Structure 1
Amino acid sequence: MSLLFTSRALRLTSTTTRPAARSSTQIYRTRFRTRHISPLQTTIRTLAIKLPNMAANIPLATLGANPEVAKKIQDLLLPEYDLVHICLNLDSAIAELPGVCAGGANAASLLPSSGLGSNVSRPAAERKVPRGIIFGAGISDGDLARVMDAVKKDAPETKVVRVTREAILAKGAQTPSPEIITKVLREILAAMVEKGEL
């Protein structure tokens, strides 16, 4: 009788001192606590990567021939891209863009003779320096080269953003459509941003 009682006591002691089984959730949390990233954390990290590019408002200059089209494209490119200086002929581009793209005190005093571009409405101290120049489809390769030869002397880092007739026609536009041109431009600019060129 005594032995039986002792045996039961041992079994009882063994049962009551055995650690409680942990759920699979507890085991997962214990083993993977340092690796676990919640969906909210993932979203925040993703936004932290994307927001700088989204909010960059990259300043650009442009040379085109049509003021109405240029103004419409300026509006359509916002907020990611900012046309700060718009030239409408070769002479003004050669005269203005080298100094504007070089930055510094002199650049702040240079306003587009066209009267177009967001720098027109900014105080001199807040005017932006273009990182690249958009050349419309109506600008010849020779004129592009002349402008860039002048610009590169003072601002060698300035990028060329070239819109071609072929790219516009491929999108279905038969006439200068600001919407189609903007679509082509956004594709070109997004690719340049992705490569770190702007």
Structure 2
Amino acid sequence: GKPRPDRLAAYFQDGSGRGINVYSTSMIDLPRGADVEIAGSLEEYNGVKELVVSSHTVWGTAPVPDPLDITIEVLRRDPWEYEGTFLSLSGRISSRSDNIGGGSNIDIDDGTGSVTIRIWNSTNILVNESGSVINDELDSLLQSGNMISVKAVGGIYNESPQLLVAYAEDFAPWQEGSEWDAGVSLDIAPYPFVPRAG
């Protein structure tokens, strides 16, 4: 995902299943799914590891990696393990605040915990840089009480996990019992209403 239009601040993931923030003060046009070789230096900025680009070669395009299905409880236990990694989870929106430091914060709870989804206004998928809602369909979906599924990059802000989204298509309505549901199993005796027979 590319959350900034004025410089490269994107996330790349390789075959290891883990990703990293890639940063450059120059705008490098890399579409989603770009197959890229990047050279640079590994640095840390506000607790976030990033690869600062010194050179890059675009080899073509590749499919976007499948996201790692995860619960919020697992993410909160060790957010650094999933920093920069493409994740998927689902849950109920508990709150939403727009135009907070240049973006929207959507809190989601999956029953194991809660986490903030961050959408920068500069992505122009929900609110533009002027602070106006520009996507009525996504605005309607991302209201408190709605159940959603999201594909997002794991990030860290103030030592806590957050999910970073840069594409509207990475949100979808979700219903309990859908394929993203972790499910529940229950073992019942053969005759639950006749205790002596069970």
Task: Specify which structure has the higher proportion of strand.
Answer: 2
Normalising by the residue count of structure 1, what TM-score does the alignment of the two structures yield? Answer: 0.22
Normalising by the residue count of structure 2, what TM-score does the alignment of the two structures yield? Answer: 0.22
Determine which structure has more spread, i.e. the larger CA radius of gyration. 1
Task: Specify which structure has the higher proportion of helix.
Answer: 1
Structure of higher RCO (CA pairs closer than 8 Å, 6+ residues apart): 1
